[in-house]
Structure 1
Amino acid sequence: MSIVTCVNKNVPFLASEGFLQAGGVAHGFSTREGGVSEGTYATLNLGFCRGDDREKVLENYRRFTAAIGADYEGLVLSNQVHGDTVRTVTAADKGKGIHSKGDYEADGLITDIPGLCLTVFGADCLPILFYDPVRRVIAAVHAGWRGTANGIAGRAVEKMVEVYGSKPGDILAAIGPGISKCCFETDEDVPNALTGALGASALKCIELQESGKFHVDLKGLNVLRLEKMGLERDHIAVSEACTMCEHERFWSHRYTQGVRGSQAAMVQLLG
């Protein structure tokens, strides 16, 4: 299963081949392209807290949801805090974070209700989408290194199983564009946290440099986590795109030193 590039209504986005083949779901990972924002935020900024004009961001949301076939009115956004909370989303949450004030903090969202468009953000951190086409359940998580160490992706799978009766073998996962091993250079605190969480299996995703720094493969670590949760390896799609290497195509927090817009990843069950 792979991540493919699509273009619709002049808006490019990335999508999971497996999700597309299974059908019944709208989804996509955004890029920097296809919006109306200007200057620092040109052109498709989907972050409200970056300093961009709110009306332009709203128009960007309209364009992106139209491109992926999702419902703009059904958006549910998350206030992300690099934690491990996965929130079960109900009809009462429709529009939170965009059409009304968000009243919760969560780095993961999960639901089985058609029409709710779960949305997470990133600009180096990984967006991960989940879809169980058998039980008709979806989830979206934001996984930076802290979220990866805390097991946010695994917690989403746990909730799909516990709350909605999903079987891990039925779940499809898509890890979107984020910073890759080539550019994610860290001090030893990051590898220590990750090996503490995942054990010796994490070492193959961590490489010591001559400088004494480490290069860390967050995508590979999340694949390991999902396999430990029982997902089939061929059910896990991983984007090869590195947001820092491809900073002209994607927002990168590291490259811009925080002066940037945000990507979003969205998934919605179709009725």
Structure 2
Amino acid sequence: MELLDKTVDGLTFQVSPQMERAGIAHGFTTRTGGVSGDIFSSLNLAVNREDRPENVRENYRRVCGALGVEMDKLVFSCQVHADRVRCVTSADLGKGLDRPVDYEADGLITDIPGLPLVVFGADCLTVLLCDPVRRVVAAVHAGWRGTALGIVERAVEQMTGHYGSDPADILAAVGPGISKCCFETDEDVPNAMTAALGAAALPFITGGEGGKFHVDLKGLNALRLERAGLLAGHVDISPDCTMCLPEKYWSHRRTQGRRGSQAALIALG
């Protein structure tokens, strides 16, 4: 299924229909509904982009209010385009907004109720996962390098190995990000995908004329999730391309890095 837009108190974000039915607090933010100005207008959630700190905090207050989670318990990722997934405990509460992040991780996972996990994107994909049976959630940042490394599979492995999840119970949502229409690359990206996945990657890669290719990161991550044991019907995908929709999303590629950031958040009730 596709992710759907939802608006609460003027703040628009996307949700997974399946996670909504499972009662999991979650959302993929857009750039609408906040208080930031200039290039950060208006719902910037990056703390490292020279936006005014008071604006970022107000933006988080609004997001947390819309999703029904506690702002002082947020735990941020520290993204380095790798495949490390960190198991988050109560000792990590507040790391990111109120406390320094003392780890590097592109994925976060927890079974602690009320602890919201946060990952960021502005062309790179964000992926949320939940196991409503064992009560485990995960948030993953998957750029092309993380996709090639299989970070979503690492997250599923942690859910199964550390928390006892059955992959067939896990629900996943692949959020807004740069889509195949706009993700034009040199040969390094398709080469990384075929090196990791072999011929299975080829349906998600087109082009080659003049050394340029188009790569479907959303499809590749859905493939990765199914390889990890998720049921095909348990993977919801956003139809939105961040580069195609500049009024709705920030795109790192479109703005050449002059931008804010979207976030994806998830928490157990």
Same fold, judged at TM 0.5 (above): yes
Which residue of the partner structure matches residue 113 of structure 1? 112
Structure 1: distance between partners of 2:77 and 2:167: 24
Deviation at 1:159? 0.2
Structure 1: distance between partners of 2:33 and 2:110: 28
C-alpha RMSD of matched pairs (Å): 0.7
For residues 121-140 of structure 1, what are the structure 2 equivalents within 5 Å? 121-140=120-139
1:212-251: per-residue Cα shift (whole Å, max 9, x none)?
3000000000011011111001000000100000111001
Q: Is 1:2 the counterpart of 2:2 in the alignment? A: yes
Deviation at 1:39? 0.5
Which residue of the partner structure matches residue 148 of structure 2? 149
Q: What secondary structure, in the 3-state scheme, does the structure 2 residue paired with 1:222 have? A: helix
1:74-104: per-residue Cα shift (whole Å, max 9, x none)?
1000110001000000000000011111101
1:89-140: per-residue Cα shift (whole Å, max 9, x none)?
0000000011111101100000000011000000000000001000000000
Conserved in 2, the CA contact under 8 Å of 1:207 and 1:214?
yes
Alignment gaps of 5+ in structure 2: none
Structure 2: distance between partners of 1:116 and 1:90: 9
Deviation at 1:209? 4.5
Q: Please, which moves more after superposition, 162-171 or 46-55?
A: 46-55
Structure 2: distance between partners of 1:195 and 1:216: 11
For residues 15-94 of structure 1, what are the structure 2 equivalents within 5 Å? 15-23=15-23, 25-94=24-93
Q: What secondary structure, in the 3-state scheme, does the structure 2 residue paired with 1:211 have? A: helix
Structure 2: distance between partners of 1:142 and 1:210: 30
Deviation at 1:149? 0.5
1:52-72: per-residue Cα shift (whole Å, max 9, x none)?
111100110110111122221
Q: What secondary structure, in the 3-state scheme, does the structure 1 residue paired with 2:27 have? A: strand
Which residue of the partner structure matches residue 14 of structure 2? 14
Structure 1: distance between partners of 2:202 and 2:175: 22
Which residue of the partner structure matches residue 103 of structure 1? 102
Which residue of the partner structure matches residue 242 of structure 1? 241
* Residue identity in the other structure for 1:87: R
Conserved in 2, the CA contact under 8 Å of 1:27 and 1:70?
no
Q: What secondary structure, in the 3-state scheme, does the structure 1 residue paired with 2:12 have? A: strand
Q: Is 1:265 the counterpart of 2:259 in the alignment? A: no
* Residue identity in the other structure for 2:264: A
* Identical counterparts, % of pairs: 62
Structure 1: distance between partners of 2:210 and 2:35: 42
Conserved in 2, the CA contact under 8 Å of 1:2 and 1:18?
no
* Residue identity in the other structure for 2:238: S
Q: Please, which moves more after superposition, 108-117 or 206-215?
A: 206-215
Structure 2: distance between partners of 1:231 and 1:251: 30
Which residue of the partner structure matches residue 158 of structure 1? 157
Deviation at 1:211? 3.2
Which residue of the partner structure matches residue 205 of structure 2? 206
Q: Is 1:174 the counterpart of 2:166 in the alignment? A: no
Which 4+ runs in 1 deviate beyond 6 A?
none
* Residue identity in the other structure for 1:220: G
Structure 2: distance between partners of 1:44 and 1:175: 20
Conserved in 2, the CA contact under 8 Å of 1:85 and 1:106?
yes
Alignment gaps of 5+ in structure 1: none
Give the alignment's TM-score, normalised by structure 1.
0.98
Structure 2: distance between partners of 1:78 and 1:175: 17
Structure 2: distance between partners of 1:187 and 1:70: 41
Conserved in 1, the CA contact under 8 Å of 2:2 and 2:239?
no
Conserved in 2, the CA contact under 8 Å of 1:79 and 1:105?
yes
Structure 2: distance between partners of 1:127 and 1:207: 23
